[in-house]
Amino acid sequence: MAKKIYLDYAATTPMDKEVFSTMKPYFSEKFGNAMSIHSFGQEALAAIDKARSALAEFLHATSAEIIFTSGATESNNLAVKGIIKSYQTQSGSQKRKPHIITTSFEHHCVLYACRSMAKEGLAEVTYVKPGKDGLIKVADIKRAIRPNTILVSVMYVNNEIGTAQPIKEIGKLIKLTNDQRPTTNHKIIFHTDATQAINYFDCNIDKLGVDLLSMSAHKIYGPKGVGMLYIRKGTPIRHIQDGGDQEYRMRAGTHNVAGIVGLGKAIELVTRNAKRETPRIKKLRDYLIKRVLKEIPKVKLNGSKIKRSPNNANFTFADVEGEGLILSLDMEGIAASTGSACSSGALTPSHVLLSIGLKPEEAHGSLRMTLGKYTTKQDIEIAVNKLKAVIGRLRKISGRVLSDYYSKK
């Protein structure tokens, strides 16, 4: 069997061996509970503190602003619901329903957290739409702001089309709005889901102007089931999970010590490797896009060509169905993903692709290929050649099916 080629780094990344070896002792001999005051506990706590410092350094934050969670899904839920719940508990706030601004192509964990708040009658939500290029316009966020807006949540890099949003500019807009607001008005809190941005983009929280930032370890060559929420000091946010006093009472539950240690090591490696890896990956990705657009007919690239993550390529192929494409590629040893998901027997087109104006059938014919630090030039050569062959084959079949259909009519 030929070597398998993994081009789905946006879904998850393989764990770096150095990360794994750093984590290992914390599953066995260093097994203490970080809340215990004996030496076993203190050893675990010291390891967590080290990871916390590494994250704080990466974000240019302080350790007390770093909250470990079970992943970006939890971080995003805590961000959205924690801000709304805090507002609800403030005196006088009951009179005015708070307003959230988010975008229509956020990850479902942000979209559904906002939707839950609306369903529970706790907030009003505006979903700002991206342009055809997959980019949110700062002016559209500005237009959506109301006197009762208390939270703006815009993702940094979209997980499907890889487009990078103008977070710094939105941060500036929110600061300006807050500076000009009457003191009786609640300040707007700015959250970004940076899950897909950490490997490739500047995440200095002051430069971005964010109050909250979410991330996940398994997208940066760390373990699954661990993530982080950065919370700027002084942000009015309430915990959403009750229990112990861990994580400055923001996130109850015994620490996932090994996972947190892994996340700390993974972030150190991002800092160490990014300068070298990012241009290499971008070059390979550009080569991939160039060949696909040139050598395969009836294809287009989804999302801005320039303002996108250096590891992301997302195409729509006419007359091809995404799931068939993924399965055929998988049989050829190529792992990628598509913009349609099979839920309860029906194909649901991606909300991201629909939000940038694709028709459902175009979303169904889409392919996301995401590269990473183990991707080689040879991988891309093989993947493009196989993709060409698979598309050709699938189009022949769909052509036959269609001509059979019309000849019988």
Q: Contact with ligand PMP (CB under 6 A): which of 7, 34, 72, 353?
A: 72
Q: How many residues bind ligand PMP (CB under 6 A)?
A: 12
Binding flag, residue 159, ligand PMP (CB under 6 A): yes
Binding flag, residue 265, ligand PMP (CB under 6 A): no
Q: Which residues are paired to 340 by β-bridges?
A: 349
Alpha-carbon gap, residue 235 to 215, rounded angstroms: 18
Q: CB nearer to ligand PMP: give 195 or 302.
A: 195
Binding flag, residue 71, ligand PMP (CB under 6 A): yes
**CA distances from residue 81 to 119, 231, 245 in whole angstroms, order as listed:** 12, 14, 19
Alpha-carbon gap, residue 385 to 381, rounded angstroms: 6
Q: Shortest distance, CB of residue 205 to ligand PMP, whole angstroms?
A: 17
Q: Shortest distance, CB of residue 17 to ligand PMP, whole angstroms?
A: 21
Q: Shortest distance, CB of residue 80 to ligand PMP, whole angstroms?
A: 12
Q: Are 204 and 58 in contact (CB under 8 A)?
A: no
Binding range to ligand PMP, per CB under 6 A, among 69-77, 233-241, 371-379, 380-388: 69-77
Q: Which distant-in-sequence residues (6+ apart) come within 8 Å of 109 by Cβ? A: 72, 73, 76, 77
Binding range to ligand PMP, per CB under 6 A, among 71-79, 270-278, 301-309, 360-368: 71-79
Q: Shortest distance, CB of residue 319 to ligand PMP, whole angstroms?
A: 29
Which residue has the closest beta carbon to ligand PMP? 71
Q: Contact with ligand PMP (CB under 6 A): which of 22, 102, 153, 216?
A: 216
Binding flag, residue 355, ligand PMP (CB under 6 A): no
Binding flag, residue 309, ligand PMP (CB under 6 A): no
- Crossing angle, helix 72-89 and helix 108-119, to 10 degrees? 30
Binding range to ligand PMP, per CB under 6 A, among 66-74, 161-169, 281-289, 332-340: 66-74
Q: Are 257 and 22 in contact (CB under 8 A)?
A: no
Q: CB nearer to ligand PMP: give 352 or 384.
A: 352
Q: CB nearer to ligand PMP: give 43 or 247.
A: 247
Q: Are 198 and 270 in contact (CB under 8 A)?
A: yes
Q: Are 342 and 323 in contact (CB under 8 A)?
A: yes
Q: Which residues between 224 and 263 bind ligand PMP (CB under 6 A)?
A: 227
Catalytic residues: 342
Q: Which distant-in-sequence residues (6+ apart) come within 8 Å of 49 by Cβ? A: 63
R_g (Cα) of the chain, nearest Å: 23
Q: Are 211 and 231 in contact (CB under 8 A)?
A: yes
Alpha-carbon gap, residue 212 to 203, rounded angstroms: 12
Q: CB nearer to ligand PMP: give 47 or 157.
A: 157
Residue 375 neighbours by CB distance under 10 Å? 22
How does DSSP assign 77-126, residue by residue?
HHHHHHHHHHHHHSTTGGGS--EEEEETTS-HHHHHHHHHHHHTTS-EEE
- Crossing angle, helix 39-59 and helix 257-295, to 10 degrees? 30
Q: Which residues between 182 and 201 bind ligand PMP (CB under 6 A)?
A: 193, 195-196
- Determine the residue type at 28: S
**Per-residue binding letters, 86-125, with ligand PMP (x by CB under 6 A):** ---------------------x-x----------------
Residue identified by tokens 């675990």 is 44
Binding range to ligand PMP, per CB under 6 A, among 65-73, 92-100, 232-240, 353-361: 65-73
On the 0-12 / 13-18 / 19+ scale of CB atoms within 10 A, 290 is exposed
Q: CB nearer to ligand PMP: give 154 or 174.
A: 154
Q: Which residues bind ligand PMP (CB under 6 A)?
A: 71-73, 107, 109, 155, 159, 193, 195-196, 216, 227
